[in-house]
Amino acid sequence: MTEQDGAPISSEQTVREQALIEEVVASFAGAESERLKFLMQALTRHLHAFIREVRLTEDEWNQAIKFLTDAGHITTETRQEFVLLSDVLGASMQVVAINNPEYANATEATVFGPFFVEDAPEIRNGEDMAFGAAGEPCYVEGTVRGVDGEPIPGARIEVWEADEDGFYDVQYGDDRMAARAHLFADEQGEYRFWGLFPTPYPIPYDGPVGAMLAAVGRSPVRASHLHFMVTAPGYRTLVTHIFVRGDEQLVIGDSVFGVKESLIKDFAHHPADAPTPDGRDLGGRPWAQTRFDIVLAPGEGEGMRVSGV
């Protein structure tokens, strides 16, 4: 950075700017922990580096403060605009990447999203987690294993997804509980359930984050996906989704950068008269089917959840 508005920045000005950074960095010397001191000093350096690199104007600073204020005003118990901001900036996925390093053949993690609910109903293997939510029935099955191939009986599998209109139950504001459940892997580490064929949907875009996406010409739409969280004692908690091979949103892009190639799965579509794997009568509806074999890394159990409200 040697110029501002075409004029060179004097060495005296540069010295003044750097002196301010040193002064702010030093102000954190007495922080209550080394980690807090490290975080605040690094934040100071990076924030000032950004301000200096872009030569931030006072008008831009005011707009940034208004953006953050608006994000605060729209945030409630169920709407977390700062998490959305983190998501669309890729910060959430960066935190996921740092905290879930690749481990042998373990299934990759992705962003948690804001629509998980703690007390989703339990279903038995083979039951339906849609609970009446609209969409094409989809039979999902797979195994839960460790990296050495050992089955993990009793692994807890949380699943949740949007309906075919692109909404999670919690977005209807009427206390319904649908398209979410938890189940447990059986003695062979196998699981199966009926859900909905995933469809693309936008992240909430009626607030400042949506306005920012519109201003920069970005779509709020996420690639079609089905969320999973899998926990078992002695294994690293896995928060992930599966995506649908062939979904055109995979080409356009996922608004929160959550897609990983290994998480894109083949989904088969069957006509209404095709027999279902468990003999279930779907009342003359076509249905879909996929398989997701899950591999857990060894670990402590409860892991990171980036992006929960």
Check residue 114 for interaction with ligand BEZ (CB under 6 A): yes
Identify any residues that bridge with 202 across adjacent strands, giving them in sequence order.
Answer: 221
Closest CA to 87 of 212, 171, 184, 189: 212
- Which residue, 170 or 294, has its beta carbon nearer to Fe ion? 170
Contact code string over 201-220 relative to ligand BEZ, x by CB under 6 A: --x-----------------
- Which residue, 189 or 210, has its beta carbon nearer to ligand BEZ? 210
Burial zone of 31 (CB within 10 Å; 0-12 exposed, 13-18 middle, 19+ buried): middle
Check residue 160 for interaction with ligand BEZ (CB under 6 A): no
d(CA 284, CA 54): 60
**Least distance (Å) from Fe ion to the CB of residue 225?**
6
Check residue 84 for interaction with ligand BEZ (CB under 6 A): yes
d(CA 300, CA 303): 7
Three-class SS state of 239: strand
User: Considering only 53-61, 70-78, 108-116, 129-137, which stretch makes contact with ligand BEZ by CB under 6 A?
Assistant: 108-116
- Other residues' Cβ atoms within 10 Å of the Cβ of residue 10: 9
Three-class SS state of 185: coil
Residue from 192, 222, 265, 270 touching ligand BEZ (CB under 6 A): that is 222
Residue from 41, 100, 113, 169 touching Fe ion (CB under 5 A): that is 113
Residue from 111, 152, 196, 239 touching ligand BEZ (CB under 6 A): that is 111
- Other residues' Cβ atoms within 10 Å of the Cβ of residue 23: 10
Positions that interact with Fe ion (CB under 5 A)? 113
Positions that interact with ligand BEZ (CB under 6 A)? 84, 87, 111, 113-115, 203, 222, 256, 307
